[in-house]
Amino acid sequence: MNGRLRRYPRAVAKKQADPIRKLLAGITPSLFMGNPEGTVVIMESKVVEAGGDPDDVLDWVREHGGYPDKSFATSTRRGRGPTLKPREAPKPYYVVPQDALE
């Protein structure tokens, strides 16, 4: 540069495109899970509805300090007597650090 100052600084490298971060950030977190402070819960079913691949999302979540979990299966009585509503299957979800989505 022959001792001259550059008039314009070099462009700062933009964050690489991260389609999984974008996908997860666009999904409304579930609020009922009692997740640890500083994290959000995103249901696997919502990821699938949004077009995400659960295996790819799980890899991303783990790489960013999150982990998978499942809700508890429950059964309930309806009315009187021994009739039980069938037990619902546990629902898988991801616990993701909030700052990983920003």
Kindly report, residue by residue over 19-65, the tens digit of the pLDDT: 999 999 999 999 876 889 999 999 999 999 999 999 999 999 999 99
On whether residue 96 sits in a domain, the answer given is yes
Q: What SS3 class is residue 67?
A: strand
**pTM summary value:** 0.71
Residue 4 located in a structural domain: no
pLDDT band at residue 17 using 50, 70 and 90 as cut-offs = confident
Q: Does some domain include residue 12?
A: no
Structural domain boundaries enclosing 37: 19-101
Residue 74 is assigned to a structural domain of this protein: yes
* Number of separate domains in the chain: 1
For residue 44, is it within any domain?
A: yes
